Amino acid sequence: MIPLPIAMKTNAARILDRLGIKYELREYEVDPEDLSAETVARKIGLPLDQVWKTLVARGDRTGVLLAVIAGSGQLDLKGLARVSGNRSVETVALKEVQPLTGYIRGGVTALAGKKDYPVFVDETVELFDVISVSAGIRGTQILLAPADYLRAVNATVGAIAH
């Protein structure tokens, strides 16, 4: 895998470099009207189940947290509440995403965010040899092994659960 030149790297990619994790940056043309995982999967040439999205939520007890799920999946709010120690969890309003994470919709990643929030990754991530996550900007995905992604999130955030 060949990373893009340093000028093109995001903070998320720099974290992977610092940790010695191998990855590939894959760029694609962004359609601001269609930021769906299905479209990203098609443009980067991966099956939808291997393109993972990071959603921002808030628990009634723990506050803000990130949920990382397959592009084909739907966030189970009751399940997330249970594993995160909350009675209830709701996704945050779109207008809150950038102030909370530093990222815009379509570019949210659990790596190198504005603040380190607890991250909960669906356990099915380990079914694949390679997954794709946002590089922290629209139009660039990071392809890497799931175990490496989990290691990077754990090293930078310190709180990861399946």
Domain boundaries, the chain: 6-161
Asked if residues 142 and 133 have their Cβ atoms less than 8 Å apart, the reply is yes
Dihedral, 85, 19, 102, 89 alpha carbons, nearest 10: -10
Residue 20 in tokens: 């010695």
Q: How far apart are CA 142 and CA 113, in angstroms?
A: 15
pTM for the whole structure: 0.91
**Per-residue pLDDT tens over the stretch 6-24:** 436 899 999 999 999 999 9
Cα-based distances in Å from 75 to 43, 89, 152: 23, 10, 22
Regions of the chain with pLDDT less than 70: 1-8, 158-162
Can you give the pLDDT at residue 160? Answer: 52
Triad 57, 59, 60: Cα angle to 5°: 145
**Per-residue pLDDT tens over the stretch 98-116:** 999 999 999 999 999 889 9
Domain 6-161: CATH superfamily, name plus number: YbaK/aminoacyl-tRNA synthetase-associated domain (3.90.960.10)
**Other beta carbons within 10 Å of 2:** 6
Residue with tokens 């092994």: 145
